[in-house]
Amino acid sequence: MPDTQDYTPPKVWSWTKPNGGRFENINRPTAGATHEKELPVGRHPLQLYSLGTPNGVKVTIMLEELLARGHKGAEYDAWLIKIGDGDQFGSGFVAANPNSKIPALVDRSGPKPIRVFETGAILMYLAEKFGELLPTEPAARAECLSWLFWQMGSAPYLGGGFGHFYAYAPSKMEYPIDRFAMETKRQLDVLDRRLADNEYLAGRDYSIADIAVWPWYGALAKGLLYGAGEFLSVQDYKHVLRWTDQIAGRPAVNRGRMVNRTFGEPSSQLHERHDASDFETRTQDKIGEAAAAEGG
Ligand SMILES: N[C@@H](CCC(=O)N[C@@H](CS)C(=O)NCC(=O)O)C(=O)O
The secondary structure of 80-100 as a DSSP string is E--GGGTGGGBHHHHHH-TT-
Ligand 1 first shell, C-beta below 6 A: 26, 53, 55, 83, 88, 100-102, 118-119
Residue nearest to atom 2 of ligand 1 (CA): 118
Closest-CA residue to 234 (of 191, 263, 173, 201):
191
Ligand 1 pocket, mutate which of 101, 116, 213 (most atoms under 8 A from CB): 101
- Ligand 1 centre to CA of 293 (Å) is 37
In angstroms, the CA 169 to CA 84 distance is 16
What pLDDT, on the 0 to 100 scale, is given for residue 7? 87
The secondary structure of 243-275 as a DSSP string is HHHHHHT-HHHHHHHHBT--SS-GGG-BS-BSS
- Ligand 1 centre to CA of 101 (Å) is 4
Q: Each residue's pLDDT tens digit in the chain (296 positions)?
A: 444 568 899 999 998 877 777 777 788 999 999 999 999 999 999 999 999 999 999 999 999 999 999 999 999 999 999 999 999 999 999 999 999 999 999 999 999 999 999 999 999 999 999 999 999 999 999 999 999 999 999 999 999 999 999 999 999 999 999 999 999 999 999 999 999 999 999 999 999 999 999 999 999 999 999 999 999 999 999 999 999 999 999 999 999 999 999 999 999 999 999 999 999 999 999 987 776 666 54
pTM: 0.95
Residue nearest to atom 4 of ligand 1 (CA): 101
Q: Which strands sit side by side in the sheet containing 104-107, from one edge to the other?
A: 76-80, 46-50, 104-107, 114-117
In angstroms, the CA 106 to CA 17 distance is 35
- Dihedral angle sign, alpha carbons of residues 267, 268, 274, 276: positive
Residue nearest to atom 14 of ligand 1 (CA): 101
What pLDDT, on the 0 to 100 scale, is given for residue 294? 64
- Ligand 1 centre to CA of 122 (Å) is 13
On whether the CB atoms of residues 106 and 96 are closer than 8 A, the answer is yes
- Ligand 1 centre to CA of 6 (Å) is 30
Ligand 1 pocket, mutate which of 55, 59, 117 (most atoms under 8 A from CB): 55
In angstroms, the CA 75 to CA 60 distance is 11
- Dihedral angle sign, alpha carbons of residues 180, 186, 50, 105: negative
- Ligand 1 centre to CA of 84 (Å) is 12
What pLDDT, on the 0 to 100 scale, is given for residue 3? 44
